[in-house]
Amino acid sequence: MIIPVIMAGGSGTRLWPLSRQHYPKQLLKLFGDKTMLQQTVLRLTGIPDIAPPIVVCNEEHRFMVAEQLQEINQRDAVIILEPVARNTAPAIALAALQARSMETNPTLLVLAADHMIRDVHEFQRVVSVAVQAAAEGRIATFGVQPTHPETGYGYIKTDTGKSADGVYFPVEQFVEKPDLATAEKYLAAGCYYWNSGMFVFNTDVFLSEMEHYSPEVITTAEQARTLAVRDLDFIRIDRDAFAKAPNISIDYALMEKSQKVVCVPLNAGWSDVGDWKSFSDLSDKDSANNSFIGDSIDIGSTDTLVFSQDKLVATVGVKNLMIINTPDAVLVADKSQAQQVKAVIAHIIQQKRSEHLQHREIYRPWGCYDAIDTGERYQVNRIRVKPGASLSLQLHHHRAEHWIVVKGTALVQKGDEVTLLSENESTFIPIGTRHRLSNPGKIPLEIVEVQSGPYLQDDDVIRYEDSYGRS
């Protein structure tokens, strides 16, 4: 049996302002009508003996991950919640220990949730090669055949003189991201591959090698998993125990040390979509090499990417630019500076702003809300509640709320009173009143909420009951 392990804990900061800490790129629909996470799972369809995946994600993203998996009928997926980030080695160790509890020595296919692969047929063929290598006791890593001297990836140096029937090669060395001159030498040498961060191995081999080379990773992962609890559809790992795990990547913990690692070449249109230039390279182009996504008008521009979510963006005679528009932030940058978007994040954090954390539209397990206007002593939200979902039974000490139904039907609990509201009807929630909003219908409920009071922050809430285990 092959158990996919989907690593979904990344933040994707270089795709800001679209990707945010609380809504990272693996949960976004960057290409087509499926998110990166959904595409990662769906491209496994058709692989023999493939099982439902184990998904390792940040606990902050748990409800979005679960909902996206349910949308593609992956209701049997196992979702492991990382309470704190500890890099890839502890996360993969958690998944391997979970897999061993489910099946005797399964083969694990470890994938990132935020990669793009264009040629799914070729990808699946290479997976079968890697599975065969794992059956021979190898730890297979996918090395992407480089197409240009890329400085944003680490590389794998192989011994091409010692192949297994030309299908995989022993790994001589893992090397860090090079400068341009070094990357050009790697490309010319022909024995270097981009390090994709994807692996195939049998569980027993992996755990044995980890116990030999990085025993502390396995020890802390075992302790954290032993203390784990079931929480709705999730496995919640013990925070204190997992926090003691080394903050180390799987390359440093194992791949650079083990003598069992082999490289399986992959040429399937792979990209980690690591920045906006990568996104631009993967996007459809016009005759002037421009990509326009969203509402836009252009006159005479070349080599330019425009991505707009909510308003018209007009460009005139610009060249080699990336213009990314979201409701609360706009990025304008030269394509050659794509890697420097992370410096913007550093400035946002330094200024104690919040644009790196979340979008104006905030997702919750019951739906989402969009803070469409904010001023002194008031905030206006557009709230969408999924069919059958409910907000928590709650109380606010500093704000009153006025709700107007614009679509669907609302079930409103206000004190001891329960009222059913239809479109164009409204209600008022005074300060200090217990209340709850629910959607009893079959279509999404949309309301406009007007908050008023001296303090309007999210922490002014006392929850009495909650369907999603939130305190």
Residues 84 and 225 in one domain: yes
Residue 22 vs residues 13, 71, 355: alpha-carbon distances, Å? 11, 20, 10
The residue-averaged pLDDT of 122-128 equals 95
Percent of the chain whose pLDDT exceeds 70: 98
The residue-averaged pLDDT of 399-408 equals 97
Does 169 fall in a domain? yes
Residues 28 and 145 in one domain: yes
Does 137 fall in a domain? yes
Q: What is the pLDDT of residue 405?
A: 97
Which tens digits make up the pLDDT trace of 6-32? 999 887 789 999 999 888 999 999 998
Q: What is the pLDDT of residue 164?
A: 54
Task: Report the C-alpha gap between 368 and 361 in whole angstroms.
Answer: 7
The DSSP string of 156-190 is EEE-TTS-STTS-EEEEEEEPPP-HHHHHHHHHHS
The residue-averaged pLDDT of 184-191 equals 89
Does 13 fall in a domain? yes
Residues 373 and 233 in one domain: no
**Which CATH number goes with the domain that contains 435?**
2.60.120.10
pTM of the model: 0.86
Residues 318 and 190 in one domain: no
Residues 406 and 280 in one domain: no
Does 355 fall in a domain? no
Residues 261 and 281 in one domain: no
Pick from 215, 250, 271: which residue ends a domain? 271
Residues 188 and 80 in one domain: yes
Task: Report the C-alpha gap between 467 and 471 in whole angstroms.
Answer: 10
Residue that the structure tokens 């913007």 belong to: 344
Pick from 237, 253, 271: which residue ends a domain? 271
Q: What is the pLDDT of residue 231?
A: 81
Does 62 fall in a domain? yes
Record the tokens describing residue 17, joined without a space.
């302002």
Residues 74 and 131 in one domain: yes
Question: Assign residue 77 a region: left if phi > 0, alpha if psi is -120 to 50, beta otherwise?
Answer: beta
Q: How many other β-carbons are positioned within 10 Å of the β-carbon of residue 62?
A: 23
Residues 341 and 455 in one domain: no
Residue 68 confidence class, pLDDT cut points 50, 70, 90: very high
Cβ–Cβ < 8 Å for 374, 425: no
Record the tokens describing residue 279, joined without a space.
């996104």
Cβ–Cβ < 8 Å for 125, 172: no
User: What is the biggest distance separating any 2 CA atoms in the chain, rounded to whole angstroms?
Assistant: 78
Evaluate if residue 332 carries a pLDDT over 80: yes
Which tens digits make up the pLDDT trace of 157-166? 998 755 555 6
The DSSP bridge partners found for residue 142 are 264
Residues 70 and 126 in one domain: yes
Does 471 fall in a domain? no
Evaluate if residue 440 carries a pLDDT over 90: yes
**Which CATH number goes with the domain that contains 103?**
3.90.550.10
* Residue 206 structural domain: 2-271
Task: Report the C-alpha gap between 179 and 78 in whole angstroms.
Answer: 40
Q: How far apart are the first and last CA of the chain?
A: 39
Record the tokens describing residue 438, joined without a space.
């629910």
Number of structural domains (the chain) is 3
Q: What is the pLDDT of residue 470?
A: 65
Does 356 fall in a domain? no
Does 206 fall in a domain? yes
Residues 183 and 296 in one domain: no
Residues 121 and 8 in one domain: yes
Task: Report the C-alpha gap between 219 and 207 in whole angstroms.
Answer: 11
Pick from 350, 371, 403: which residue ends a domain? 350
Task: Report the C-alpha gap between 294 and 15 in whole angstroms.
Answer: 17
Provide the mean pLDDT of the chain: 93
| Exposure string for 412-446, b = 16+ CB within 10 A, e = fewer | bbbeeeeeebeeeeebebeeeebbbbbbebeeebb
Which tens digits make up the pLDDT trace of 131-158? 999 999 999 999 999 988 888 889 999 9
The distance of Cα 161 from the centroid of its chain, to the nearest Å, equals: 38
Q: Are strands 116-117 and 270-271 parallel, antiparallel or unpaired?
A: antiparallel
Record the tokens describing residue 67, joined without a space.
């909902």
Task: Report the C-alpha gap between 309 and 315 in whole angstroms.
Answer: 16
